[in-house]
């Protein structure tokens, strides 16, 4: 997937190519990525792209207006024009023709018209006469974007490390961000990154830079979602399904080796059920602990639709022929800009396998938050921080401080429901950041964020997603093969199982858990049910892993210890390793934060030391 970066010099642009070339070297993760750089006036723009055969007609140069005044670059893809622009499918949106037409539409209708374009993208628009730079992105901020400003100019890039290659941009840590991370599930709120000088760009943004500091506003707001009238459940299911089928179809365009990661839950299975029968070449990859529920349920689901299924066990222990899981996760810290805690970096352990087998990945993460009840209860700032979640350890913010921050984020939504603060501040980090690491190898598309599907689901009254259970009723009605008998990982029973049966199942599992030790003493086979697909409590506590994790967090130059207090940090770390009496995300966030800053100087030095500039193109299309 494409990634943009750029440098708008405050003065004469003497070294723009060299600066952007260094940005690209910092951002590049493998030699197969294609790169190009363009310069117009005091603006230089660079692009990294996948060299895929099915996108061979993708000429990377920007669209330029007939008079040479306006230039437009685009990273990513679009899936529906929304009345703004017509096109055949997503593959066409990577073409010169599409960029020319998009430029014409935005010049005619204004840049806010981009709100109609459903996709996962970034657009850079340059007015060479007025020396005005405008950056636009999709409503979900699907492709991460960061920026910084120094006395020498304005820098933007798809990775923090790219922005840090710009002159005058300091790499000094943002010490407040570690407090936020250990307070809120490993996440930061607002626009913070691990570096004080570099900020995130929110979704649906219009960033304008001219003669000074950037200005930010939104071209679309959560309150723009139109209300949907509650109708009989069969009608709602039919409408939801129609939109879902179209969302999946749009995201299969051009795929030669489509696939996904498949859990034992509902969201990825919904994609499997719709997409696999259409393609005949579907690959589903499940990861976790051998024998876990996710493995068993995912395998059954894949078999039910005839998909190719593979399982990769997590936590390779570094023996001969195995991968050191901690080392593998650590190597992705800079590709995700240190914004994903150690626990969630597990999603990248399967990246090499995915890159080998898949060219288009349909991702199901956040599905239950879109069409299901996950965020329904977040109707107040208190509800928002509970869903982040707020941990309340001695290392983070106290409850009143955390609540005040949540109140501010909810207030920024204006008239939109409080749950959308989670879409603004949690989901971009919990899904987009590690998804961005995937995008360097293959295309990632997310049907649950299809604008028409999303707006229908979120426009419905909360009771429809909640008590009336639209999500599960839809899946059971339309995909019985995948959902009628195969359990949901969350409950161990198929969806729509009556509550009394769920209670009986819980009781049965409890009795079985208590009798296992007795059966083992009697020499009888007693295989436990492995409910979770991860087991950080065991694997992080192995002597070597513990030594490395503690060594990073408690080192003499630890920023976490300096900011949060060495005695407090040491107590929390020891308590977790000895008794598990602290959230793993707190430990994982500090490990990543320390490792990120310790490795950052060498990464920047290496990118700076390579002085060969990329080829510069200025051809209008």
Confidence of residue 620 (pLDDT cuts 50, 70, 90): very low
DSSP secondary structure, 179-194, as one string: HHHHHTTT---TTB-S
Domain final residue pick, 220, 246, 277: 220
Distance CA 618, CA 611 (A): 21
CATH of the domain at 319: 3.40.50.620
Exposure string (b/e) for 526-548, b if CB count within 10 Å is 16 or more?
eeeebeebbebeebbeeeebeeb
| Structural contact between residues 306 and 276, judged by C-beta atoms closer than 8 angstroms | yes
Q: How far apart are CA 71 and CA 219, in angstroms?
A: 20
Tell me, what's the pLDDT at 570? 96
Q: What is the pLDDT of residue 433?
A: 81
Q: How far apart, in whole angstroms, are the C-alpha atoms of residue 374 and residue 389? A: 13
User: Would you place residue 615 in the very low, low, confident or very high pLDDT band (cuts 50, 70, 90)?
Assistant: very low
Does residue 73 sit in helix, strand or coil?
Answer: strand
> For the residues 569-588, what does the mean pLDDT come to?
90
455 and 586 in a single domain? The answer is no
Asked which of 199, 220, 241 is the last residue of a domain, the reply is: 220
Same domain, 346 and 393: no
Domain identity same for 174 and 235:
no
In this prediction, residues 574-594 reach a mean pLDDT of 90
Within-domain flag for 228: yes
Residue 384 has which token pair?
Answer: 């928002």
**Helix, strand, or coil here: 398?**
coil
Structural domain contains residue 37 = yes
Whether the link from the prior residue into 516 is cis, omega within 30° of 0, is no
Indicate if 476 and 367 belong to the same structural domain.
yes
Question: Of the ranges 42-51, 81-90, 96-105, which one carries the lowest mean pLDDT score?
Answer: 42-51
Domain boundary among 201, 220, 239: 220
Ramachandran region of residue 254, left (φ > 0), alpha (ψ -120 to 50) or beta?
left
Residue 574 and residue 455 in one domain? no
The CA distance from 207 to 137, in Å, is: 9
Q: How far is CA 388 from CA 185, 246, 372, 426, 552, in A?
A: 6, 31, 17, 7, 25
Asked whether residue 406 falls in the same domain as residue 443, the answer is no
The answer to whether residues 77 and 93 touch, using CB atoms and an 8 Å cutoff, is yes
Q: Is the pLDDT of residue 481 over 50?
A: yes
**pLDDT tens digit sequence for 338-394:** 999 999 999 999 999 999 999 999 998 888 999 999 999 999 999 999 999 999 999
What is the tens place of the pLDDT at every residue in 391-443?
999 999 999 999 999 999 999 999 999 999 999 999 888 887 888 889 999 99
Q: Is residue 498 part of a domain?
A: no
Rg from Cα positions in the chain: 24
Does residue 253 share a domain with residue 216?
A: no
| Residue 318 CB contacts under 8 Å (≥ 6 apart), including other chains | 324, 325, 327, 544
Domain of 84, CATH number, reads 3.60.20.10
What is the pLDDT, as a whole number, of residue 454? 98
Output the pLDDT for position 513.
Answer: 61
Helix, strand, or coil (residue 319): coil
DSSP string for residues in 405-456: HHHHHHHTTTTS-TTHHHHHHTHIIIIIHHHHHHHTTSEEE-GGG-HHHHHH
**Full residue range of the structural domain in which residue 128 is found:** 3-220
What is the total count of domains within the chain? 4
Q: Is 587 strand, coil or helix?
A: helix
Q: What tokens does 54 get?
A: 């099915």
More confident residue, 506 or 288: 288
Would you mind telling me the total number of residues written for the chain in this entry? 621
- Give the pLDDT of residue 101: 98
Check whether residue 356 and residue 392 sit in a common domain.
no
Decide: helix, strand or coil at residue 465: helix
- DSSP 3-state of 520: helix
pLDDT of residue 530: 83
Report whether pLDDT(616) > 50. no
Residue 316 confidence (pLDDT): 80
Pairwise CA distance, residues 322 & 431, whole Å: 27
Mean pLDDT value of segment 192-217: 95
Q: Do 186 and 52 belong together in one domain?
A: yes
Proportion of the chain above pLDDT 70, given as a percent: 91
Both 319 and 192 in a single domain?
Answer: no
pLDDT in tens, 287-345: 999 999 999 999 999 999 999 999 999 998 655 455 699 999 999 999 999 999 999 99
Q: What is the pTM of this model?
A: 0.94
Do both 476 and 393 map to the same domain? no
Residue 507 maps to a domain: no
Q: Which of 44-58, 446-460, 468-482 has the lowest mean pLDDT?
A: 44-58
The answer to whether residue 620 is domain-embedded is no
Secondary structure of 363-394 as H, E, C letters: CCCCHHHHHCCCCCCCCCHHHHHHHCCCCCCC
- The C-alpha angle 545, 551, 554, rounded to 5 degrees, equals 130
CA pseudo-torsion sign 325, 326, 330, 331: negative
Sheet holding 258-261, edge to edge: 308-313, 283-288, 258-261, 360-362, 443-445
Specify the range with the lowest mean pLDDT, choosing from 86-95, 114-123, 139-148, 494-503.
494-503
User: At residue 461, does pLDDT exceed 90?
Assistant: yes
Which residues are paired to 287 by β-bridges?
312
- For residue 364, give the nearest of 252, 272, 281, 489 by alpha carbon: 272
- Buried-exposed string 304-315: b where 16+ CB fall within 10 A, e elsewhere: bbebebbbbbbb
Question: Is residue 618 a part of any domain in this protein?
Answer: no
Asked whether residue 187 falls in the same domain as residue 230, the answer is: no
> Going by C-beta distance under 8 Å and a sequence separation of 6 or more, which residues neighbour residue 447?
244, 247, 248, 250, 251, 271, 362, 364, 453
Question: Does position 613 have pLDDT exceeding 50, yes or no?
Answer: no
- Over 70: is that where the pLDDT of 56 sits? no
Q: Which two tokens stand for residue 352?
A: 């090499």
The average confidence (pLDDT) of the chain is 91
Distance CA 277, CA 64 (A): 42
Question: Is 137 contained in some domain?
Answer: yes
Let me know if residue 496 belongs to a domain: no
- At residue 485, φ and ψ (nearest 5 deg) are -120, -15
What are the tens digits of pLDDT across the range 508-559? Answer: 666 656 666 665 666 656 566 788 899 998 999 999 999 999 999 999 999 9
Close Cβ partners of 392 (under 8 Å, ≥ 6 residues apart): 398, 399
DSSP conformation class of 267: H
């Amino acid at each position: 997937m494409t990634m943009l970066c750029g440098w708008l010099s405050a003065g004469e642009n003497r070294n723009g190519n060299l600066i952007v070339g260094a940005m690209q070297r910092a951002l590049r993760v493998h030699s197969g990525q294609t790169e190009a750089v363009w310069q117009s006036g005091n603006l230089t723009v660079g692009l990294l792209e996948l060299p895929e055969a099915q996108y061979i007609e993708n000429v990377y140069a920007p669209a330029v207006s007939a008079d040479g005044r306006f230039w437009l670059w685009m990273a990513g893809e679009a899936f529906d024009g929304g009345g703004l622009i017509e096109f055949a499918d997503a593959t066409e949106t990577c073409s010169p023709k599409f960029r020319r037409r998009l430029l014409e539409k935005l010049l005619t209708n204004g840049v806010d018209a981009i709100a109609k374009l459903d996709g996962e993208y970034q657009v850079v628009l340059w007015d060479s006469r007025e020396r005005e730079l405008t950056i636009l992105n999709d409503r979900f901020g699907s492709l991460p974007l960061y920026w910084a400003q120094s006395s020498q100019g304005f820098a933007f890039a798809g990775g923090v490390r790219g922005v840090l290659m710009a002159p005058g941009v300091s790499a000094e840590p943002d010490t407040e961000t570690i407090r936020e991370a250990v307070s809120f599930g490993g996440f930061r709120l607002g626009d913070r990154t691990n570096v004080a000088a570099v900020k995130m760009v929110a979704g649906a943004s219009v960033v304008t830079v001219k003669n000074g500091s950037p200005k930010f506003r939104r071209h679309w707001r959560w309150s723009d979602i139109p209300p949907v009238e509650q109708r009989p459940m069969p009608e709602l299911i039919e409408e939801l399904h129609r939109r879902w089928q179209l969302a999946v179809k749009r995201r299969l365009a051009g795929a030669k080796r489509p696939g996904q990661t498949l859990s034992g839950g509902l969201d990825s299975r919904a994609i499997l059920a719709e997409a696999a029968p259409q393609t005949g070449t579907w690959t589903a990859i499940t990861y976790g602990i051998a024998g876990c529920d996710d493995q068993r349920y995912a395998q059954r689901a894949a078999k039910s639709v005839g998909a190719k299924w593979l399982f990769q066990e997590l936590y390779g222990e570094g023996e001969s022929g195995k991968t050191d899981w901690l080392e593998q996760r650590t190597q992705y810290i800079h590709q995700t800009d240190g914004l994903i805690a150690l626990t969630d970096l597990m999603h990248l352990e399967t990246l090499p396998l995915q890159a080998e087998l898949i060219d288009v990945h349909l991702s199901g993460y956040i599905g239950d938050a879109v069409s299901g009840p996950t965020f329904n209860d977040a109707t107040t700032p208190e509800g928002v921080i509970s869903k982040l979640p707020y941990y309340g350890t001695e290392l983070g913010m106290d409850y009143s401080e955390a609540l005040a921050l949540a109140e501010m984020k909810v207030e920024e939504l204006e008239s939109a429901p409080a749950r959308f603060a989670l879409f603004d501040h949690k989901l971009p980090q919990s899904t987009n950041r590690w998804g961005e690491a995937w995008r360097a190898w293959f295309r990632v598309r997310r049907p649950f964020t299809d604008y028409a599907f999303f707006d229908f689901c979120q426009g419905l009254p909360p009771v429809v997603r909640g008590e009336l259970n639209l999500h599960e009723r839809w899946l059971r009605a339309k995909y019985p093969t995948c959902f009628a008998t195969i359990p949901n990982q969350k409950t161990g029973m198929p969806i729509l199982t009556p509550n009394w049966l769920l209670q009986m199942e819980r009781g049965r599992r409890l009795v079985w858990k208590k009798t296992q030790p007795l059966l083992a003493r009697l020499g009888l086979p007693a295989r436990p049910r492995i409910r979770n697909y991860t087991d950080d409590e065991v694997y992080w506590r192995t002597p070597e892993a513990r030594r490395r994790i503690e060594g990073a967090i408690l080192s003499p130059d630890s920023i976490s210890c300096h900011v949060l207090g060495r005695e407090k940090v040491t107590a929390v770390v020891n308590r977790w390793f000895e008794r598990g009496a602290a959230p793993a995300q707190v430990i994982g966030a500090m490990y990543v934060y320390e490792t990120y800053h310790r490795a950052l100087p060498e990464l920047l030095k290496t990118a700076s030391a390579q002085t060969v500039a990329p080829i510069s193109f200025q051809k209008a299309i």
